[in-house]
Amino acid sequence: DGGITQSPKYLFRKEGQNVTLSCEQNLNHDAMYWYRQDPGQGLRLIYYSQIVNDFQKGDIAEGYSVSREKKESFPLTVTSAQKNPTAFYLCASSPPAGGAFFGPGTRLTVL
Amino acid sequence: GDSVTQMEGPVTLSEEAFLTINCTYTATGYPSLFWYVQYPGEGLQLLLKATKADDKGSNKGFEATYRKETTSFHLEKGSVQVSDSAVYFCALSDYRDDKIIFGKGTRLHILP
CB-based contact A50 B45, cutoff 8 Å: no
CB-based contact B102 A35, cutoff 8 Å: yes
Q: What is the pLDDT of residue A42?
A: 85
Q: What is the pLDDT of residue B28?
A: 85
Question: Is B84 in a helix, a strand, or coil?
Answer: helix
- Rounded to an integer, what distance in angstroms lies between the CA atom of residue B81 and that of residue A58? 36
Nearest residue of A to residue B89 by CA position? A42
Q: Does A34 touch chain B (CB under 8 A)?
A: no
**Residue A75: cis peptide before it, omega within 30 degrees of 0:** no
Alpha-carbon torsion, ordered B87, B90, B94, B100, to 10 deg: -20
Q: How far is CA A31 from the centre of its chain?
A: 12
Question: Is B40 in a helix, a strand, or coil?
Answer: coil
Nearest residue of A to residue B91 by CA position? A99
Q: DSSP readout, A43-68?
A: EEEEEEEEETTEEEE-TT-TTEEE--
Number of residues assigned to chain A? 111
Does the pLDDT of residue A1 top 70, yes or no? no
Q: What is the pLDDT of residue A102?
A: 93
Beta bridge partners of B89: B36
CB-based contact A90 B99, cutoff 8 Å: no
Q: What is the pLDDT of residue B85?
A: 96
Does the pLDDT of residue A36 top 70, yes or no? yes
**pLDDT tens digits for range A75-108:** 999 998 888 999 999 999 998 877 889 999 999 9
Alpha-carbon torsion, ordered A97, A99, A103, A105, to 10 deg: 140
- Provide the shortest C-alpha distance from residue B64 to chain A (in Å): 15
- Provide the shortest C-alpha distance from residue B32 to chain A (in Å): 7
Taking every pair of Cα atoms in chain A, the longest distance, rounded to a whole number of angstroms, is 41
Does the pLDDT of residue A41 top 90, yes or no? no
**pLDDT tens digits for range A46-61:** 999 999 999 999 999 9
Collect the ranges in chain B with pLDDT lower than 50. Answer: none
Give the mean pLDDT of chain A: 92
What is the pLDDT averaged over residues A38-43? 83
Q: What is the pLDDT of residue B9?
A: 87
Beta strands in chain A (DSSP E): 4-7, 10-13, 19-25, 31-37, 43-51, 54-57, 64-66, 76-78, 87-94, 101-102, 106-110
Q: Does A31 touch chain B (CB under 8 A)?
A: yes
User: Of chain A residues 78-97, which have a CB less than 8 A from chain B?
Assistant: 90, 92, 94, 96-97
Helix spans in B5-106 (H): none
